Amino acid sequence: MASHTMPTAKPKLGVFKFASCDGCQLSLLDCEDELLAVAGAVDIANFPEASRAVEEGPYDLALVEGSITTPHDAERVIEVRRQSKFLISIGACATAGGIQALRNWKDVDDFTRVVYATPEYISTLDRSTPISVHVEVDFELRGCPISKTQLLELVAAFLQGRRPNIPTYSVCVECKGRGTPCVMVSHGTPCLGPVTQAGCGAICPAYNRGCYGCFGPMESPNTAALGHWWERQLDVPVPDLVDAFRGFNAYAEAFRTASDDYELRESRD
């Protein structure tokens, strides 16, 4: 394996997939213009969406997409970690359990019985959990899907050994930066932006919609105060509050506890 010791060897990148829709991996392919630069900077050793060629580990950088939903995946992710120097989980599935984490509030056997002809062949866990529950993660890149700009910034920062510019403040900062008038204030549309981490560029408010929370909770999410305003000023019913926090990042702690609190309220009302 002479190539390992050659001074010109490029860092080896591996992309790994667990329970997910592949959308985040596709963000990397979507970097059309930049893809050549990526290919020039790293040796793409494993990338199922792009090529079937698989090189053996170890990997310098592993991008891990998807959540852990089966016993087999729970073991596989430990192997990926063992093979990788730097591991980044990418997307809402990998960082928070994804939309499939909605099962965490239900009995998963009920689903398998309904969906599969022979449910006893199905080996699945009763929870969908983020990668960080199973192995140590070096960085979590949020988003459903991730932002390709942030992904490129992260890879560049990794290569250059510097801290990535990936802010943890609210979507509101991006909204104001692009000059979008606030949809909550100007037409009373409920928006999760104030409790959601920036990264998307505040797309939905720019189209007069409220934020859906795709990038998960921001650094200091005050879900109670936002929920209170929705309820009192925007007349949002409690069941809708439960649903709002149970989206792509339902199992992220701040959103999970918020939806649980409102569900408890709902059961009492």
Partner 1 sequence: MSTTAVVERENFEELFEALRARGYESVGPTVRDSTIVYDHIETVADLPVGWTDIQEAGTYRLVRRKDEALFGYVIGPHSFKKYLFPPRHTLFTLEKTSEGVKLVDAGDPVPQYAFIGMRPCELAAMSIQDRVFGEGPFFDTEYLRRRQQVFVVAVNCVETGGTCFCTSMGTGPKALEGFDLSVTELLGDAGHRFLIEAGSPLGEEVLADLPHRAAESGEVADAERLLEQAEGAMGRSLDTGGIKELLVGNPEHPRWERVGEQCLTCTNCTMVCPTCFCATVEDTQSLDGATAERVRRWDSCFTTEFSYIHGGSLRPSAAARYRQWMTHKLASWIDQFGTSGCVGCGRCITWCPVGIDITKIAAAIRASEEKKHALA
Q: Which of residues 123-162 bind partner 1 (CB under 8 A)?
A: 152-153, 155-156, 159-160, 162
Cβ-count burial 100-114 (b if 16+ within 10 Å, e if not): bbebbeeebeeebee
Residue with smallest beta-carbon separation from ligand SF4: 193
- The kind and range of the H/E element at 46 are strand 43-46
54 or 225: whose CB is closer to partner 1?
225
Q: Residue 71's binding partner, choosing from ligand SF4, partner 1, none, with beta-carbon cut-off 5 to 8 A by kind?
A: none
* CA nearest to 241, candidates 222, 223, 262: 262
10 scored as a contact of partner 1 (CB under 8 A) = no
202 binds, among ligand SF4, partner 1, none (CB under 5 to 8 A by kind): ligand SF4
Tokens of 202: 């505040």
Tokens of 152: 């490129």
238 forms part of the interface with partner 1 (CB under 8 A) = no
Give the contacts of 36 (CB within 8 A, at least 6 positions apart). none
In this chain, which of 51, 85, 110, 181 binds partner 1, going by CB under 8 A? 181
DSSP 3-state percent helix, strand, coil across the chain (nearest 5) = 50, 15, 40
Residues near partner 1 (CB under 8 A) are 34, 37-38, 40-41, 152-153, 155-156, 159-160, 162, 165, 167-170, 172-173, 176-182, 184-188, 191, 193-195, 208, 219-220, 222, 224-226, 228-229, 233
